Amino acid sequence: MDAIVLAAGKGTRLRPLTNDTPKPLLTVQGRPILERTLLGLDGVADRVIVVVKYLKEQIIAYMEQQDIFKDYEIVEQLPEPLGTGHAVQCCQPLLTSDEFIVMNGDDLYDPVALWGMKEQGAAIMAALRDDAPKWGVIVSTEDQKFVRIHEKPEAGLYPPPVYVNIGVYKLTRQIFDYDIQKSSRGEYEITDYVNYLSQQVPIKVIRTDFWVPIGTPQDLEQAQTITLPTVGK
């Protein structure tokens, strides 16, 4: 199975740390975030496709020297990054599996939850958060079947805590049957693909207790002190 790792962003909220270093190559407890991502995917995916743009040369150089995935491809988001859905579109010609994982390459995830995705068909990963208006709330049934994503709902609509979308998906090629359109932000959103796919096949919600989004210098500093899941190698 292929895995798409999204690593094209500028990480503007992490400046000045990302002025000269792409966000996925910032280190957490001695390892680049991208390395932790690849280690989490080791054994889950057979091959990775890394989407690049900002400071792409550094990520290309890192992939050339890493020894976690020998089978990988680099895809540049051209002509410019137009959202997560666009990043997946750029990878379509290189996909070799019908099912594939898509994940952010600059957050910290639990490898056990990734293994849980491997055992499912279509799936989306979710974690509990109290501040629902900040995230995309995953609406699901009692048996954890995905219904929809409610982006940044108004305060008070969902009693906290709620399960939110954390940027890891297991999708199928069926998504490319959908004529995705730009959102109000002027981007192609991967969540539109997810909502479409949910009308075609069941999507399982994989719940995890561990997710560390790295959005600010303070987030990165805090990540240096927390207990991280064990990863291979």
Q: What is the DSSP string of 186-216?
A: SS--HHHHHHHHTTTS--EEEE-S-EE---S
Please tell me the pTM assigned to this model.
Answer: 0.93
Q: Which of 40, 26, 43, 88 is nearest to 208 (CA)?
A: 40
In a domain, 231, yes or no: no
Range of the domain at 98: 2-214
Is 228 a member of any domain? Answer: no
Residue 172 lies in a domain: yes
Backbone angles phi, psi at 184, to 5 degrees: -65, -20
d(CA 52, CA 10): 10
Residue 226: inside a domain:
no
Considering the domain boundaries, does residue 229 fall inside one? no
Whether residue 230 lies inside any domain: the answer is: no
- CB neighbour list of residue 150: distance below 8 Å, 6 or more residues apart: 136, 137, 139, 157, 158
C-alpha angle 219/225/229, rounded to 5°? Answer: 95
Per-residue pLDDT of the chain (233 residues; tens, 9 = 90+): 999 999 998 878 888 888 999 999 999 999 999 999 999 999 999 999 999 999 999 999 999 999 999 999 999 999 888 999 999 999 999 999 999 999 998 899 999 999 989 888 999 999 999 988 889 999 998 888 999 999 889 888 888 899 999 999 999 999 999 999 988 888 999 999 999 999 999 999 999 999 999 989 999 999 999 988 876 55
Residue 9 contacts residue 81 (beta carbons within 8 Å): yes
Integer Cα distance of 38 and 128 in angstroms: 24
Q: What is the pLDDT of residue 155?
A: 85
In this predicted structure, what is the pLDDT of residue 233? Answer: 55
Here the CATH number for the domain that contains residue 24 is: 3.90.550.10
Distance of alpha carbon 100 from alpha carbon 1, whole angstroms: 6
Q: How many domains does the chain have?
A: 1
Residue 232 lies in a domain: no
**pLDDT, position 142:** 83
55 within domain boundaries: yes
Query: Closest Cα partner for 101 from 46, 145, 56?
Result: 46
